[in-house]
Chains A and B, each alone.
Chain A
């Protein structure tokens, strides 16, 4: 049971890290993370003949590009973030279809090393990058933005810079997660991003239930994701059909948030949603 958990954990870890930056720290209703996940995979597919580091960079760039679009819509056209994310999702759905040609393409880049080792290297690298960020001035600024976006109107700190940095890095991580998923499954699929936001929210809510802090904390996405896959494996073992899993997740999130509101002593935010 532990091996499938670890396998899935390594694939989804960049997504949880990205979602932690945008949904949890910046507290944005960032549905466009689904597009970043898919577009990262698409960019990796387009670059699959290049050396592996370039494929990885392309995936990150693909995700970050989605981040640039959604944040620009929010910052320069003054659209609320949720609306900007919905529009971005629409635009990138069409763009993805155009770039892929069909709704499904096989994906087999030349790895050169075993897949688990590659997944581990990517995960450790991303954890190191995000850990450095979280303890830095910028990491704390992301948390400030989430708690009090007005702060930046009263202090000579650029809120736009903070927002762009957080969303770009978060979406780049999501793009890399999309690439890892495609690598592991051997295809890029137009619908592979469905339910990604639910997975992210569930993992973050679980993480926040275990680790209660307002400060940036890397353990929240890590512990949350691990707990998420443990619960998933247990449910699969007791016979829950995988096709009902998204509905089950949605109900669990609803139940958890309802419980947190009902028991007012427990304070948990709504992760931007």
Chain B
């Protein structure tokens, strides 16, 4: 997957934030994006989600993407809603895509209780599954484990690593997790001398 000459300014008269930024991500692997706070990692993920049609962004606030009062299964049904929900059609009957049935069983998730009662990691997995229903080619994850404890963070990364054929670019400050689960490149975003953000590949 090649990103070529990406440019961004906050407004027309502002200096370039990104200028001709180009990089390549090998398909089907988990890539990491590093950088100091405020350098623009989240902006880059947002830009990519807008520029690449088959990219999906998962923000830090994963609880905003689910409905706590409804069950895991019902939330998955909500994930398949169209832009204009039909007043005459019922929700999709079998919300778990075939390829994820075993995965859900593996993480011991109760599918029928309100998801507010599930652990943070299980809720994050639900939020990811809802996004995955759109069959994205690129999954952009902005600090997916920022609000989770160690055990739940591990669970989320285990889930991510079990996904096949999905390219991922992850911002995460937990170096241990990144080292264990990254299978692709590690990119480092920094501010260049002229204020323009630059990407370096860490070896």
Determine if chain A interacts with chain B.
yes
Give the B-binding residues of A (Cβ under 8 A).
Answer: 132-133, 135-141, 143-144, 147-148, 150-151, 153-158, 161-162, 165, 214-215
**Chain B contacts of A136 at CB under 8 A?**
85-90
User: Smallest CB-CB separation from B58: which chain A residue?
Assistant: A154
**B3 interface hit (Cβ, 8 Å):** no
With A147-B68, A147-B69, A157-B81 already in contact, the answer to whether A214 and B87 are too (CB < 8 A) is no
- Contact check, A133 vs B87: say whether CB atoms are below 8 A apart: yes
User: Smallest CB-CB separation from B134: which chain A residue?
Assistant: A156
CB within 8 Å of A: which B11-56 residues: none
Choose one: B83, B91, B130; the contact of A140 (CB below 8 Å). Answer: B91
Task: Give CA–CA (A151, B130) in the complex, Å.
Answer: 11
* Cβ-closest 8 pairs across A and B: A137-B85, A150-B64, A214-B69, A154-B65, A138-B87, A141-B85, A138-B85, A137-B86
- Contact check, B69 vs A161: say whether CB atoms are below 8 A apart: no
- Contact check, A157 vs B86: say whether CB atoms are below 8 A apart: no
**B82 interface hit (Cβ, 8 Å):** yes
**Chain B contacts of A158 at CB under 8 A?**
83-84
Starting from the known contacts A136-B85, A143-B67, A157-B82, 6 additional A-B residue pairs (CB-CB under 8 Å) come to A136-B86, A139-B87, A140-B74, A141-B81, A144-B67, A151-B67
Choose one: B69, B85, B87; the contact of A132 (CB below 8 Å). Answer: B87
**Chain B contacts of A155 at CB under 8 A?**
65, 78-79, 81, 130
**Chain A contacts of B66 at CB under 8 A?**
148, 151
> Interface size (B, Cβ < 8 Å)?
27
Task: Give CA–CA (A135, B85) in the complex, Å.
Answer: 12
Cβ distance A52 to chain B, nearest Cβ, rounded Å: 25
User: Smallest CB-CB separation from A161: which chain B residue?
Assistant: B84
Main secondary structure on chain A at its contact with chain B? Answer: helix
Choose one: B85, B87, B90; the contact of A157 (CB below 8 Å). Answer: B85
Choose one: B59, B65, B81, B114; the contact of A137 (CB below 8 Å). Answer: B81
User: Smallest CB-CB separation from B62: which chain A residue?
Assistant: A154
**Chain A contacts of B83 at CB under 8 A?**
156-158, 161
Query: Which of A137, A151, A158, A161 has the most CB atoms of chain B within a 10 A radius of its CB?
Result: A137
**B70 interface hit (Cβ, 8 Å):** yes
**Chain B contacts of A151 at CB under 8 A?**
64-67, 78
- Contact check, B85 vs A214: say whether CB atoms are below 8 A apart: no
- Contact check, B64 vs A138: say whether CB atoms are below 8 A apart: no
**Chain A contacts of B82 at CB under 8 A?**
137, 157
**Chain B contacts of A144 at CB under 8 A?**
67, 78
**Chain B contacts of A143 at CB under 8 A?**
67, 70
- Contact check, A135 vs B81: say whether CB atoms are below 8 A apart: no
Choose one: A137, A150, A214, A215; the contact of B89 (CB below 8 Å). Answer: A137
18 chain-A/chain-B pairs, Cβ below 8 angstroms:
A133-B87, A135-B90, A136-B86, A136-B88, A138-B86, A138-B87, A144-B78, A147-B69, A148-B67, A151-B66, A151-B67, A154-B64, A155-B65, A155-B78, A157-B83, A158-B84, A161-B84, A214-B114
**Chain A contacts of B86 at CB under 8 A?**
136-138
Task: Give CA–CA (A135, B134) in the complex, Å.
Answer: 23
With A137-B82, A140-B78, A155-B81 already in contact, the answer to whether A148 and B68 are too (CB < 8 A) is yes
